[in-house]
Amino acid sequence: MKAIYYPAWDQLELRDVPEPSAKPGEVVLRVNAVGICGSELHGFVVHAARRTPPSILGHEFCGEILSVGDGVTGFRPGDRVGVNSVISCGKCADCHDGNVHLCRENEVFGMKRPGGFAEQCTVPAATLLHLPSALTPVQGSLLEPLANGVHAVSMLQQRFPETVVVFGAGTIGLFALQVAAVSGAIRLIAVDTHDARLEVTRRLGASAVLNPKKADVVAMVRGMTGGRGADVTIDAVGAAETRRASVSAVRRGGEVVWLGLHDDPSQISGFQMVLGERKILGSFAVTHRDLRTAIALFTNGKITLDPWVKTFPLAQGVEVFLQLAHNPPDDYIKAVLLP
Ligand SMILES: [Zn+2]
Ligand SMILES: [Zn+2]
């Protein structure tokens, strides 16, 4: 079968590889659609220790079951399924607590096992969800990043926050923005350094947009909120700078959600945290419940993918991946490959 193979640092090639077979508890999927994730692009560029070659990347995918291994129940050949990209062990204390997304023994497609940049991929049945027939393959492949937005917004304790600021208009930021709108945010402000991306956020419900290259974001947010700051800020970038701004732009008693993973060390004002009782909530990965919510959002027409998601054949995947990694285009944000 054809796969986009990642043989060594900085190399990526379309190659014929042996077809996989299902071990006990697994199924073989015919991959219908697979998204190229920003974390994979970033990992490729910086030689991330979490994503080492040789491997096949791709963790945002959906497909049709070709065959099932021993012991698989509830799924059979022909079923259309979505995938939770984090595979938990089911045995550790976190899994027993119900926090399967926090499992320390987890495996992720494209890290410890081959991912979905291929015509076929093996997947543990425990990570599968049945897809309704109304869902398109592109929607099915984007369940996981949409569920990331659902997970982030579900951390919040506030109902109907008046002002929500979303830092980052990449895939996760655009989904978080739309989920915040559905879940009751009254006014949405989008922040990004690319004007073309900010234009997209306007079409998805942002009532104001801020480019930190042109404006002091924290001062502008304070100005729009009578000097108080936003009720909620969501950092879908994870750079030291956006983390700092996400804390400075939130009001006293407000909530900050961090889900970007760009930088590790970040300097935050301890005084702002303590004197203002601001809360920082980390948000990682997704639960099966978040994925079911994502399915419901898609099937009920609550999420817009136009004009920022674009599809390509697998054969063009290497070229598209390298372009997104080194020189992102202006005319779309998310690429989905159709093997
Ligand atoms: Zn991803
Ligand atoms: Zn576990």
For 279-327, the DSSP string reads: EEEE--S--HHHHHHHHHHHHTT----TTTEEEEEGGGHHHHHHHHHHS
- Give me ligand 2 centre to Cα 87, in Å: 9
- Give me ligand 2 centre to Cα 11, in Å: 33
- Give the model confidence (pLDDT) of 172-185 as tens digits: 999 999 999 999 99
- Give me ligand 1 centre to Cα 59, in Å: 6
Q: ∠ CA(103), CA(261), CA(175), 5° rounding?
A: 90
Predicted TM-score of the model (pTM): 0.96
- Give me ligand 2 centre to Cα 115, in Å: 20
Of 274, 192, 198, residue with least CA distance to 235: 192
- Give me ligand 1 centre to Cα 108, in Å: 10
- Give me ligand 2 centre to Cα 116, in Å: 23
Those residues of the chain that have pLDDT short of 70 are none
- Give me ligand 1 centre to Cα 270, in Å: 31
H or E segment to which residue 187 belongs: strand 187-191
Contacts of 159 (CB under 8 A, 6+ apart): 184
- Give me ligand 2 centre to Cα 191, in Å: 36
Burial 165-186 (b: 16+ CB within 10 A, else e): bbbbbbbbbbbbbbbbbbbebe
For tokens 């590790």, what's the residue? 264
- Give me ligand 2 centre to Cα 113, in Å: 17
Of 222, 202, 225, 198, residue with least CA distance to 210: 198
What ligand is nearest to the CA atom of residue 103?
Answer: 2
What ligand is nearest to the CA atom of residue 84?
Answer: 1
- Give the model confidence (pLDDT) of 118-147 as tens digits: 999 999 999 999 999 999 999 999 999 999
What ligand is nearest to the CA atom of residue 91?
Answer: 2
Contact assessment for residue 58 and residue 162, using Cβ atoms and an 8 Å cutoff: no
- Give the model confidence (pLDDT) of 200-232 as tens digits: 999 999 999 999 999 999 999 999 999 999 999
The pLDDT score that the predictor gives to residue 229 is: 98
- Give me ligand 1 centre to Cα 272, in Å: 31
